[in-house]
Amino acid sequence: MKPPQTVPITFFKRKPGTEPAITVTPGAAQQIRAAAKGSDSESLALRIAARRDADGAIDYRMGFDNARKGDLALDSAGIELVVAEADADLLDGMTLDYVELEPGDFRFIFINPNDASPAPAPPDAAAGRGA
């Protein structure tokens, strides 16, 4: 099996004192670290992907992955994130949080000014590799 290709990645450049393109809350960061450790993915970044559906809502995916050519990378709350350059505009200004939606039902949610409504992540998000 051929090892994955290592490529340089581009980092978001922001003016000092401005918010990062994606904010990870402390609760989400804690859960992401636990998921990475539990899936042996501690050396990988968290990839967040987005696409707009026909109805205008944004569909989100996330998982642990290596950076690829053309990816944008950033850090929020100590979590390394990678985003495909094509997804950057949809994700700009988004917050990733981890909340209890109903008693005992904890999930990641995406709070995004570019989306009409926050969406919970799929139940297995950040539990394994790939987006």
User: Per-residue pLDDT tens for 42-80?
Assistant: 999 999 999 998 888 899 999 999 999 888 889 999 999
> Whose structure tokens read 């969406």?
119
Q: What is the DSSP secondary structure assignment for residue 84, as one 8-state letter?
A: E
For residue 122, what pLDDT band results from cuts at 50, 70 and 90? low
Residue extents of the structural domains in the chain: 21-120
Asked whether the predicted pLDDT for residue 121 surpasses 90, the reply is no
Residues 71 and 122: their CA atoms lie apart, in Å, by: 23
Q: Give CA torsion, residues 46, 28, 91, 118, to 10 deg.
A: 140
Total-model pTM: 0.74
**Homologous superfamily of 21-120:** HesB-like domain (2.60.300.12)
